[in-house]
Amino acid sequence: MAIPHELPLIGTMAMGLGLAFVGGLIAVRLGFPSLAGYLLAGIVVGPFTPGFVADADVASELAEIGVILLMFGVGTHFSVRDLWAVRRIALPGAIVQIVVATILGAGAAMHWGWSPGAGLVFGLALSVASTVVLLRALQERGLVDSVNGRIAVGWLVVEDLVMVLALILLPALAGFLGGSPGGAPGIGDSLGMTILLTFAKIGAFFALMYVVGLRLFPWLSAQLTRAGSAELATLFVTAMAISLAFGAAVGFGVSFALGAFLAGVVVNEAELSHRFSNQIQVLEHVFAVLFFVSVGMLFDPSILVEEPLRVLLVTAIIMVGKSLAAFGLVVLLRYPLNAAATVSASLAQIGEFSFILASLGVGLGLLPEEGRDLILAGAILSITLNPAAFRLAERLILRRPSSDDAGVGVAETIAPMAAPVIVDAESLTGEGEGEHVVLVGYGRVGRIVGRDLAIAGVPFCVVENNRDVVERLRKRGMRVVFGDATVADLLAQVDLAQARAVVIAIPNADEARRVFKLVRGARPDLPVVVRANDRDDVEFFRGEGGGQALLAEDALGHALSRAVVGDNAARAAGESRS
């Protein structure tokens, strides 16, 4: 059954989105990522399976729009500050891991008799994980705001940047690698000149975007705010992403994907990504689904029967070789075992950049179609099995016998700290027979508590698993223990027997609950103050043996009330509501 010629767009979108919904729903109910369902939906409507066949040309253009919006979204989420915070692990780790995975993939391709150019594209495609898959996996486990989550996201940002560089260079280098020249070096052109011209075009486009965008985009945003129209805001984001990508391709010879990415970076630099986040996400989700469906249409399932050993080898490179390399690198960089397990599980899959590279490689004549099929097979299997990789990582963390930094000495003096902020530390300074407070987590909330304790003259010890933060605090003379507070052996280092209270200020709810249970098991009488994320957390901590659970909106509301009606009246009102 084929789509009527007069309605190819409607038929392709109707069947593609409909089957993607069904496939995604089934995948989620079975405990697999929804992306696996989208890819399978593409296989169902593709030319290699019987029954309905979607229009491949229309699907290809819809996929191009999906790539544009995906890359635009990646650009708007790209934060130099977030990357800088984890630079010591994400930058060297991601680059070395890409090199290792590329060598493994290229080695397999060369063993099969492929050209060096095909091996390079194949290895690169296997080296980069999917940001979409990672973020959804972290969100499901509440790890996005955790230290390990930030490391994994920063790692993938570096991978994405390397792949953007690969998208830039592959068309320019295709002629030299044995493919069809994309940016076609002519007679007398050298490799260096080709690369130089390519970067000059990209630099010119980005410079123009940066100069014009930083002036134009904020002005347009102000006009939209005055108009108060959600429809216009959505139209603005769509027109900007697609038009700028098209202009980059036509005017500067830059790919759609790269043009969209650079446009997104400029939007982020103009500090407008939060203003249009909802519009970006809705469009990105819809067209990303069409992108994955169109990718599935390209997959020939017969390769699973004809080349099962190659498929298994590709999957092993993705889920074992690449993950073990990342695990070893994180451990060598002296980060906790739980960080190594989270990063390695996060990288045990491939996704959107792999598909883009595979399609580009086939289009440039570098990668055989069999290579694209193997990449797609590896992607479908690794995305489907990725939840199992996270479960294995969680078991490894829970079975760990000891902390990662046992025996590390801590400084004994408390350094003077910054000016006070509005936080009530009364419950920690008035009672308790011990000498110090144990502060678990030194993020945004932990820093506030730490400043107040220092100002109040209360000695405290910090437990933190971000090595950069630990090193910074030790330089300031603070008592700090490096490692994962969910490990009982680590808590033994903070001398709970002599503590007056514990403050659990980590954002991850599951980790906070584990720490709470460990503290209660070690000292049931010890006062505990916990940062709660929602009402369920508050009920949990109260039901597990007391402690004070503070909900963010409640604490903020009481602080605002005190600023207006006075300290005593606001506190009395808060107590009556409790």
| DSSP character string of 528-558 | EEEEESSHHHHHHHHHTT--EEEEHHHHHHH
Residue 439: strand, helix, or coil: strand
Residue 186: what pLDDT? 43
State percent of the chain over pLDDT 90. Answer: 12
Most confident segment among 58-62, 77-81, 352-356, 570-574: 352-356
Condensed to tens digits (0 to 9), the pLDDT of residues 446-467 reads: 888 888 888 888 889 998 877 7
524: CB partners within 8 A, 6+ apart: 545
Q: Please check the confidence at residue 116 and state whether its pLDDT lies above 50.
A: yes
Q: Are 437 and 502 in contact (CB under 8 A)?
A: yes
Mean pLDDT, rounded, for 77-89 = 71
Mean pLDDT, rounded, for 258-280 = 71
Q: Please check the confidence at residue 47 and state whether its pLDDT lies above 50.
A: yes
Mean pLDDT, rounded, for 421-433 = 38
Q: Which of 529, 576, 574 is nearest to 554 (CA)?
A: 574
Q: Which of 251-260, 374-383, 497-506, 523-532 has the lowest mean pLDDT?
A: 251-260
- Residue predicted with more confidence, 121 or 82: 121
Q: Which of 265-274, 404-413, 487-496, 540-549 has the lowest mean pLDDT?
A: 404-413
- Phi, psi (rounded to 5 degrees) for 189: -75, 140
Q: Are 103 and 127 in contact (CB under 8 A)?
A: no
Q: Please check the confidence at residue 401 and state whether its pLDDT lies above 50.
A: no
Residue 434: what pLDDT? 57
What whole-number distance in Å separates Cα of residue 143 and Cα of residue 392?
A: 16
What whole-number distance in Å separates Cα of residue 405 and Cα of residue 335?
A: 9
Cα atoms in the Cβ-side hemisphere of radius 13 Å centred on 140: 16
| Neighbour-count burial of 574, counting CB atoms closer than 10 A to its CB (0-12 exposed, 13-18 middle, 19+ buried) | middle
> What band does 33 get if pLDDT is binned at 50, 70 and 90?
confident
Q: Please check the confidence at residue 46 and state whether its pLDDT lies above 90.
A: no
- Residue predicted with more confidence, 179 or 87: 87
What whole-number distance in Å separates Cα of residue 343 and Cα of residue 464?
A: 18
Residue 291: what pLDDT? 77
Q: Which two tokens stand for residue 126?
A: 């296997």
Q: Which two tokens stand for residue 278?
A: 């909802």
Mean pLDDT, rounded, for 43-71 = 76
Residue 44: what pLDDT? 87
Residue 98: what pLDDT? 94
Count, residues in the chain: 578
266: CB partners within 8 A, 6+ apart: 75, 206, 209, 210, 213, 214, 217
Q: Which of 27-41, 266-280, 327-341, 528-542 has the lowest mean pLDDT?
A: 266-280
- Residue predicted with more confidence, 63 or 553: 63
- Residue predicted with more confidence, 415 or 456: 456
Orientation angle between helical segments 56-77 and 277-298, nearest 10 degrees: 140
What whole-number distance in Å separates Cα of residue 193 and Cα of residue 195?
A: 5
Q: Please check the confidence at residue 231 and state whether its pLDDT lies above 80.
A: no
Condensed to tens digits (0 to 9), the pLDDT of residues 296-339 reads: 887 888 889 999 999 999 999 999 999 999 999 988 888 878 88
Query: In this structure, which amino acid lies at residue 219?
Result: W
| Alpha carbon separation from 278 to 174, 207, 224, 549 (Å, rounded) | 38, 27, 15, 31
Residue 424: what pLDDT? 36
Residue 403: what pLDDT? 38
Q: Please check the confidence at residue 573 and state whether its pLDDT lies above 60.
A: no
Partnered with residue 439 across adjacent β-strands are 462, 503
Residue-wise DSSP of 229-280:
-HHHHHHHHHHHHHHHHHHHHHHH---HHHHHHHHHHHHHHTT-TTTTHHHH
Mean pLDDT, rounded, for 550-574 = 62
Residue 459: strand, helix, or coil: coil
Partnered with residue 481 across adjacent β-strands are 463
Condensed to tens digits (0 to 9), the pLDDT of residues 502-549 reads: 998 887 777 788 888 888 878 888 888 887 767 766 777 766 655 677
Condensed to tens digits (0 to 9), the pLDDT of residues 177-200 reads: 766 655 444 434 566 776 777 778
Tokens 């086939």 sit at which residue?
362
The answer to whether the Cα torsion of 78, 84, 89, 91 is positive or negative is: positive
Q: Please check the confidence at residue 101 and state whether its pLDDT lies above 90.
A: yes
Residue 321: what pLDDT? 93
> What band does 408 get if pLDDT is binned at 50, 70 and 90?
very low
Q: What is the CA radius of gyration of the chain?
A: 27
- Residue predicted with more confidence, 284 or 530: 530
Residue 413: what pLDDT? 26
What whole-number distance in Å separates Cα of residue 133 and Cα of residue 137?
A: 6
Partnered with residue 550 across adjacent β-strands are 531
> What band does 81 get if pLDDT is binned at 50, 70 and 90?
low
Q: Are 487 and 422 in contact (CB under 8 A)?
A: no
Residue-wise DSSP of 180-223:
--SS---TT--HHHHHHHHHHHHHHHHHHHHHHHHHHHHHHHHH
Mean pLDDT, rounded, for 152-179 = 78
- Phi, psi (rounded to 5 degrees) for 534: -160, 180
| Neighbour-count burial of 315, counting CB atoms closer than 10 A to its CB (0-12 exposed, 13-18 middle, 19+ buried) | buried
> Structure pTM?
0.64
Residue 405: what pLDDT? 38
| Alpha-helix residue ranges (DSSP H) falling in 30-115 | 34-45, 56-77, 80-85, 87-111
Residue 15: what pLDDT? 83
| Alpha carbon separation from 547 to 81, 271, 438, 451, 506 (Å, rounded) | 35, 40, 14, 22, 16
Q: Please check the confidence at residue 38 and state whether its pLDDT lies above 80.
A: yes
Mean pLDDT of the chain: 76
> What band does 114 get if pLDDT is binned at 50, 70 and 90?
very high
- Residue predicted with more confidence, 573 or 201: 201
> What band does 82 get if pLDDT is binned at 50, 70 and 90?
low
Pairing of strands 460-464, 548-551: unpaired
207: CB partners within 8 A, 6+ apart: none
Query: In this structure, which amino acid lies at residue 340?
Result: A
Partnered with residue 549 across adjacent β-strands are 530
Q: Using alpha carbons only, what angle is made at residue 391 by residues 349 and 22, rounded to the nearest 5 degrees?
A: 60
Q: Please check the confidence at residue 259 and state whether its pLDDT lies above 90.
A: no
